[in-house]
Structure 1
Amino acid sequence: MTERVLITGGGAGIGAAIAERCRREGYETVTVDLHHGDLAADLSDPDQARAAFKEATARGPIHRLVNNVGSIDVASIEDLTLDQLDHAVGINVRPAVLAAQALVPGMKERRFGRIVNVASRAALGKEGRTTYSIAKAGVLGMTRTWALELGRHGITVNAVGPGPIRTSLFDAANPPEAPETQRIIDSIPVKRMGEPADIAHSVAHFLDTRAGFVTGQTLYVCGGKTVGLAAL
């Protein structure tokens, strides 16, 4: 039987690249997204999220999960609102918890599972990203905690932390011809922007059956931009 993988936010950008890579690896993908997913749901709504995950598992357990859905609010600490904070947690953290709660029982029964949480370099700190850094630091914390709780059941839990990745959303906020965009590229040691496929490659590694001795880890896929920022 073909192995299945559930990918939240899999309809576009990084999520779509992850889904494409998973299909090339031979998995059957189940994407949940507000737009262009196999299952349509606003994952910031707990009821819609639960319903989508229930539908995804109606054919049987899914043993691989990629928690990718998320969004960014840009605001300084003086300007951000509590609504922005609630939204950041509601879309970057809560769907991952609900997805894990839906899939982990099936993983435990098989004594095998792979969970990959998509975090961000912003978890290490980035100006104007208070709510986003709070949420993505939370993703790192739950990755480590789940790894401790689930390792005895054959389930690994790891995180991938993207750096600057060229997506349509990035290009809209950072026009390729803008001087500030070039300054971003110049600050990356490998002197290029990342592509969604770069993230998908690292996610595929953690999903692999052979990656069973790595858990609770965060891999920053950032062209070296976190060197000197992340702890050893």
Structure 2
Amino acid sequence: MAETTTERVLVTGGASGIGAAIVEQQRSLGRDVVVIDKQPGGIQADLADAAQVADALDEALAGGPIHRLVNNVGYIRVAALEELEIEDALRTYEINVVAAMRCAQALLPGMREAGFGRIVNIASRAALGKAGRSAYSGSKAGIIGVTRTWALELGQHGITVNAVSPGPIRTAMFDAANPAGDPRTQQIIDAIPVKRVGEPADIAGAVGFLLDEAGFITGQNLNVCGGMTIGAAPL
């Protein structure tokens, strides 16, 4: 099977949080996981910088073709529309959408040659709309649109493309913004049908499924949100 020769994985933003859980899950399968992140722990690059991204991808591919890609890196600045700095908006799109395009373009030749590829883009429930997140929600809606388009273009080459949209996930960023014991934090938990905040491993499990078991699933967005999206997203 093609999978026996396609054991390298690239995870952007894999140094911490959800990305680190994805890296751990993939390494548990014995895969060679390459991380590109601004933080230490892999190939260091600012994914908003085209030249740094190009150099990082050259370094990643020096070890051979990569047939599984997780575009996980994300950037967010919370601001109401009238307070939004356009430079922040441009950086948001550069990291959340354009970096994914750059990574996919670099890996595509190897995927096409193998007749096998798996791309998973990390989106967000914010794509449905969330106050204070004009740039972020727009970028995440954009990555879902990109996912659907790539699925149409690349399916003929044995490449599937899907998105995962996390709900509230317990990361350092979430805990900082939502302290334990705060009534507002409890309100968030009460609004989740399964009555708990998600863990990074919950997202990693969904991503792992799409990287391995989903050869007939493409162009889809999987909400991993404990049921919060019920009633908010279309069937």
TM-score by length of 1: 0.97
Paired AA for residue 123 in structure 2: A
1:112 counterpart = 2:116: yes
Paired AA for residue 77 in structure 2: D
The alpha-carbon deviation at position 176 of structure 1 amounts to 1.2
User: What are the within-5 Å matches in structure 2 for residues 161-200 of structure 1?
Assistant: 161-200=165-204
Write the distance in 1 (CA, Å) between the matches of 2:18 and 2:115: 29
What is the RMSD of the two structures over their aligned residues, measured on CA atoms? 1.0
Given candidates 225, 228, 235, the residue that maps to 1:225 is: 228
Structure 2 spans left out of the alignment, 5+ residues: none
**CA 1:2 to 1:110, structure 2 compared with 1: closer, same or farther past 3 Å?**
closer
Deviations 1:70-122 (A, max 9, x none): 11110111211211210110111111000001001110011100000000000
- 8 Å CA contact 2:123–2:141 kept in 1: the answer is yes
- 8 Å CA contact 1:12–1:36 kept in 2: the answer is no
1:9 counterpart = 2:13: yes
1:150 counterpart = 2:154: yes
Partner of 1:77: 81
Figure out how many residues of one structure are paired with residues of the other and give that number.
231
Write the distance in 1 (CA, Å) between the matches of 2:215 and 2:63: 26
Deviations 1:28-76 (A, max 9, x none): 1101111123211111111101110111001211000000001111011
Write the distance in 1 (CA, Å) between the matches of 2:231 and 2:76: 24
Secondary structure (helix, strand or coil) at the match of 1:48 reads helix
Secondary structure (helix, strand or coil) at the match of 1:171 reads helix
- 8 Å CA contact 2:13–2:37 kept in 1: the answer is yes
Once the two structures are aligned, what percentage of the paired residues are identical?
Answer: 62
Secondary structure (helix, strand or coil) at the match of 2:81 reads coil
- 4+ aligned runs moved over 6 Å, structure 1: none
Structure 1 spans left out of the alignment, 5+ residues: none
- 8 Å CA contact 2:8–2:67 kept in 1: the answer is yes
Partner of 1:203: 207
User: Which sits farther off after the overlay, 77-86 or 144-153?
Assistant: 77-86
Write the distance in 2 (CA, Å) between the matches of 1:177 and 1:40: 36
